[in-house]
Chain A
Amino acid sequence: QSVLTQPPSVSVAPGQKVTISCSGSSSNIGNNYVSWYQQLPRTAPKLLIYDNNKRPSEIPDRFSGSKSGTSATLGITGLQTGDEADYYCGTWDSSLNAWVFGGGTKLTVL
């Protein structure tokens, strides 16, 4: 059972948009910045979004992040088959003194 809650899977048609939610509490998302990671099949995770809504320079603006209260959301527009991956949210938990990840969301583009 992960400290951060994500939907296990989402399926979307090519070209459409999707949002992936990440729910936590005041000890983690509520008082810390959230980051998002993409893990393509058989590869190491890659940073997509940091500090709730900032993108590394190499990440296209199809990817966006937001946070409200104790929840965060990853948005992806113009979905492509190459976006099929597992997506994880994460942040520091000030009560646990530990970094916490969501359980991950498997995105299928069909």
Chain B
Amino acid sequence: EVQLVESGGGLVQPGGSLRLSCAASGFIFSDHYMDWVRQAPGKGLEWVGRSRNKAKSYTTDYAASVKGRFTISRDDSENSLYLQMNSLKTEDTAVYYCVRALRLTGTTHFDLWGRGTLVTVSS
């Protein structure tokens, strides 16, 4: 079955760190760009960042709101994507979705979503 399964969410204090994982199955993970998208409670979708594939030298991009605090990495041998979150703020509280970014034309689109994992930053 083609799916993405996130894990690692939980409660963390402001200033703390957390590492999210995303396990991919049912497709050739190494071929694809992979992104993280988050959604604060009652709010809209916010893009967090992207990990491109080996063909694009595993380059990454980040939203301005997380740049310098969050790091995306991947392990193609384990079909896994990671999000290392440091210096967490209360406004980082959200459901974090692992997403496959498919590129058929010059622009990607998000064709596969995980169910999400909740991160709560609170003292």
Contacts and interface: CB of A to CB of B under 8 A. Distances in A.
Nearest to A100: B47
Nearest to A91: B107
A99 B104 contact: no
Given A33-B106, A45-B45, A45-B97, 19 more contacts: A2-B44, A33-B107, A35-B110, A37-B110, A47-B111, A50-B104, A56-B111, A86-B44, A90-B47, A92-B108, A96-B64, A97-B61, A98-B62, A99-B35, A99-B108, A102-B44, A103-B44, A104-B44, A104-B45
A83 to B, nearest CB: 18
Interface stretch (B9-17, B19-27, B69-77, B112-120): B112-120
A88 B113 contact: no
A110 interface: no
Contacts of A104: 44-45
Q: Is the interface of A mostly helix, strand, loop or mixed?
A: strand
Interface residues of B, number: 25
Nearest to A101: B45
Contact of A90 (B102, B104, B110, B116): B110
A99 B111 contact: no
A17 interface: no
Interface of A: 2, 32-35, 37, 39, 44-47, 50-51, 56, 86, 88, 90-92, 96-104
B108 A37 contact: no
B63 A98 contact: yes
B109 interface: yes
B123 interface: no
B78 interface: no
A44 B113 contact: yes
